[in-house]
Homo-oligomer: A and B are copies of this chain.
Amino acid sequence: MEIIVAKTAGFCFGVKRAVDMAFKTAKKKQKGVFTFGPIIHNPQVIEKLKEEGILPTEDINTHEIKDIIIRTHGVSFQIMNRISDAGFNIIDATCPFVKKAQRYAKLLREDGYQVIILGEREHPEVQGIMSYAGDDVIVVAAESALPKIKHDVGIIVQTTQPVEALKKLFGKVIEQAKNVKVYNTICNSTALRLKETAAMAKKADIMLVVGGKNSANTTQLAKLCQSLSVPTHHIETAAELRAEWFNGIKKVGITAGASTPDWIIEDIIKKLKVYDS
């Protein structure tokens, strides 16, 4: 059984930066260090951080907080202000690309555009960007219908969306708006990962997509593989693997989301080799 692993699988720049910041802080062995929400969308990494004494929280009032690490997906400016007013030491692990999307949203609002965010309304990244985008902000997913929009519209994209979704959205927007400004805030590493995964899914007999079930970009990868009609399993760890998936399989493709640590991928490869022996 041949095992191929995507070069782009695993930690992206922003996640690596955030996780490094958190573990560096952990080394100092101080008390009262929290992350605002899960620092990345990978339960296994969150578990490891807990072992180091760093807990996630979204309730800044009931803990004895000294340092607070802002999650990689960012927070709304209201939350940022509240944390700031509370006097905590802020370690801002917001992904620089997400920060950029927040800044563009603010810029568009200040320039009088109605802001449309392409993404998942409930995702913390989108919630953060929304807060900068003004009261008339609209959040849409690629497949949803567009509500009535204004004449001048600015588009911002959740960093983990596929570019095809942006093309689809533009097609709908241009039927209504006359003046459209688009900031393509899709992260390049997302685009490359989607591209490599698509190519791999066409060659593999089965695809393993590794990463948090709550990870938007991992879920995106799994959806992509399924759309290409290859048997696909979205798993968080090696524990979820089932030997029977691999009966008669010649080629296994492995890809992983931006928040999946290398050691989880390595565990999976080890277990596959056991099946194969």
Contacts and interface: CB of A to CB of B under 8 A. Distances in A.
Interface of A: 163, 166-167, 170-171, 174-175, 177-184
Contacts of A177: 184
Q: Is the interface of A mostly helix, strand, loop or mixed?
A: mixed
How many monomers of this chain does the complex have? Answer: 2
22 contacts: A163-B174, A163-B175, A166-B174, A167-B167, A167-B170, A167-B171, A167-B174, A170-B170, A170-B171, A170-B174, A174-B182, A174-B184, A177-B184, A178-B183, A178-B184, A179-B181, A179-B182, A180-B181, A180-B182, A181-B181, A181-B182, A182-B182
A52 to B, nearest CB: 37
Contacts of A181: 179-182
Contacts of A184: 174, 177-180
Given A179-B181, A181-B182, 7 more contacts: A166-B174, A167-B167, A167-B170, A170-B171, A177-B184, A179-B183, A179-B184
Nearest to A153: B182
A192 to B, nearest CB: 13
Nearest to A181: B181
